[in-house]
Amino acid sequence: MKSGRKAVHNRSSPLSAGSVQLSVLQVAPVYLDAWATWDKLKSFGGRAVQQGAEILTWGESLIPGYPNWTSVDTTRNQKPVYAKFWDQCVTLDGPLVADMRTFAKTNNVMMIGGVTERDGGSTYCTLLTIGQDGALLGRHRKLKPTWLERLVWADGDGRGLRTHETKIGKVGSLNCWENWLPLARAALHQQGEFIHVGVWPGSDFLVRDITRFIALEGRSWSVAACGMLRSSDMMHLTEDEFPVREAMLSRQETWQDGGSRIIAPNGDVVAGPLIGEEGIVSAQLSAQAVVEARQMLDSSGHYSRSDVLRLEVSGRDISDSI
């Protein structure tokens, strides 16, 4: 006997949303020139939007550039270079971030990418998340700068370990080697992350294993957003403003070679890797693929055993502002 009841369809559910197109903008900076780098990034972003992108992401500290000079000179030449770097870093209330927000709102696109942020005399390796409406949703400062990065960047905190809503589920992001920190990943897992974005200076060797591992561990979409850096990207700098210029130019031609890629929840590479050149890496990401993969393993759900294992993130409260 038929009940006569009509089926109810949740038209706003992640599965009914179909998919979201994410594009990695793999570009090199105009080294230590924040506005010129943003103009270049914006040009690539405009192309990606025309191709259907709804989420844009890019590499670690692309604005104003990754501090490679720490590996070639640890003398007092560091001082003026750091000052130049600091001068080109962004502030959350500054005009460059405001222009980013305008771009996001105008193009109805979410943006997740790396900058170096200045606060007082210190700098922080920061991941910004900007919503499709131009709202500044998140600022995550790298928890622990790696190796020689500690000559430049201060430690971050737990306030930025948050996920943000997309139409197919939550997206989270981490900077470079903190993607290797099990508890940092777990902090995002426990919030129900469907898409994980790792931003990197750019290295196929560094990202090829961890990006796939994150996909398989979280049964989530896993993105490696990489940058580029070549000696030619530094040619506009003078020796006076960049005293390590000749040391950098003579050391090697390519400092970062990219490696951007997108991995499905089952571990398959669906886009990329893009190595040795600038470009756009895109894929359609669906909630369906995540849910299917999580029937067996769901790190943020039935396989998490929160009654036995719990993670506390110090310094984070849901009411905290960024």
Q: Which of 40, 54, 60, 178 is catalytic?
A: 60
Residue 167 falls in the annotated catalytic set: no
Report DSSP state, residue 304.
S
Output the six-digit token pair for 210.
Answer: 């961890």
Instruction: Enumerate the β-bridge partners of residue 26.
Output: 279
The closest of 289, 271, 291 to 280, measured between CA atoms, is: 271
Q: Which of 54, 89, 125, 142 is catalytic?
A: 142
At residue 91, what are phi and psi to the nearest 5 degrees?
-120, 150
Residue corresponding to tokens 């890019």: 58
DSSP states of 216-245 as a string? Answer: HHHTSEEEEEE-EEEGGGGTTS-TTT-TTH
Q: Which of 40, 89, 117, 176 is catalytic?
A: 176
Output the six-digit token pair for 230.
Answer: 């070549």
Residue 40 falls in the annotated catalytic set: no
Output the six-digit token pair for 266.
Answer: 């089952």
At residue 40, what are phi and psi to the nearest 5 degrees?
-65, -45
Residue 89 falls in the annotated catalytic set: no
The residues annotated as belonging to the active site are 60, 142, 176
